[in-house]
Amino acid sequence: METLKAEEFLNRLAECREAYWEKLNAERKSYGAEKPLSPAIVLRRLQFGVVMERKAAEVTARWVGQIPDLDLQQPMSEYVVNELKHTSILRQRIKELNGDPDALWNEPLPELKELWDFHASLTSLCELIASVQFGHEEFFPRTSKSFIERVASIDPKTASIYRDTLLADEAGHEWIAPEILSRYAQDGATQQKCLEALKRGCELFGRAIQSFNRSMPS
Ligand SMILES: [Fe+2]
Ligand SMILES: [Fe+2]
């Protein structure tokens, strides 16, 4: 692929991601991702969150030591800390609700495992960032918004955790991924690999949340 200017490259990545979002959002509604919540569904959703937060930290941590510039290395290490902090907060909430915090962590759905195995297998920082932080992590505030609206009336504490901590921290680290990609994905071959990683990541994420929604207690 010919080398794109940073801005064009980010636009290309964003276009791909948004195309997946449209497809995924239509599908989520069709398989009942937005149906009314029961306490069992809330618990399951929190258990899913434990896997997503902890895995995001784990797959990213191994690359932090290889970020050349300190002004990106430091915020990326804080990102890892935040995701682990979110894991702890979610695990604590699950315990308060008398659930098993590691139910999905210990026995992940195959599609969820496939998603994170893919991220763990990526061979460069830029591909990882394109696929996780610039990719499906951008969907988190969108799916959380409807979850917060629906959970607020039955479990205000969980709604507050999502709104006041998880999403607030998310907003604080959204700038890092585009900055890393524009600074380090400087040649056509790397940019091409990033696009492929983002597409594959979105595809696997779509499958993982579909499998998750289908496995939901009724
Ligand atoms: Fe998080
Ligand atoms: Fe996050």
Q: Are residues 42 and 55 in contact, defined by beta-carbon separation less than 8 angstroms?
A: no
Q: Predicted confidence band at 55 (pLDDT cuts at 50, 70, 90)?
A: very high
Cα 205 to middle of ligand 2, angstroms: 14
What are the tokens at 133?
Answer: 């932080």
Nearest bound ligand to CA 171? 2
Q: Predicted confidence band at 187 (pLDDT cuts at 50, 70, 90)?
A: very high
CA-closest candidate to residue 178, choices 131, 141, 137, 130: 130
Question: Does residue 66 have a pLDDT over 80?
Answer: yes
Cα 59 to middle of ligand 1, angstroms: 13
This prediction's pTM: 0.95
Tokens 């969150």 -> residue: 49
In sequence order, the 6+-apart residues with CB closer than 8 A to the CB of 77 are 64
- Distance (Å, whole) CA 37 – CA 79: 30
Cα 162 to middle of ligand 1, angstroms: 9
Full 3-state SS string of the chain: CCCCCHHHHHHHHHHHHHHHHHHHHHHHHHCCCCCCCCHHHHHHHHHHHHHHHHHHHHHHHHHHCCCCCHHHHHHHHHHHHHHHHHHHHHHHHHHHCCCCCCHHHHCCCHHHHHHHHHHHHCCCHHHHHHHCCCCHHHHHHHHHHHHHHHHCCCCHHHHHHHHHHHHHHHHHHCCHHHHHHHHHCCCHHHHHHHHHHHHHHHHHHHHHHHHHHHCCCC
- Written as one letter, the residue type at 60 is T
Cα 187 to middle of ligand 1, angstroms: 30
Nearest bound ligand to CA 50? 1
Cα 82 to middle of ligand 1, angstroms: 6
Q: Predicted confidence band at 67 (pLDDT cuts at 50, 70, 90)?
A: very high
Cα 81 to middle of ligand 2, angstroms: 10
- Rounded average pLDDT over 129-157: 94
Question: Does residue 32 have a pLDDT over 80?
Answer: no
Cα 1 to middle of ligand 2, angstroms: 30
Question: Does residue 33 have a pLDDT over 80?
Answer: no
What percentage of the chain reaches a pLDDT higher than 70? 100
What are the tokens at 193?
Answer: 């690999």
What are the tokens at 7?
Answer: 């801005």
Cα 101 to middle of ligand 1, angstroms: 16
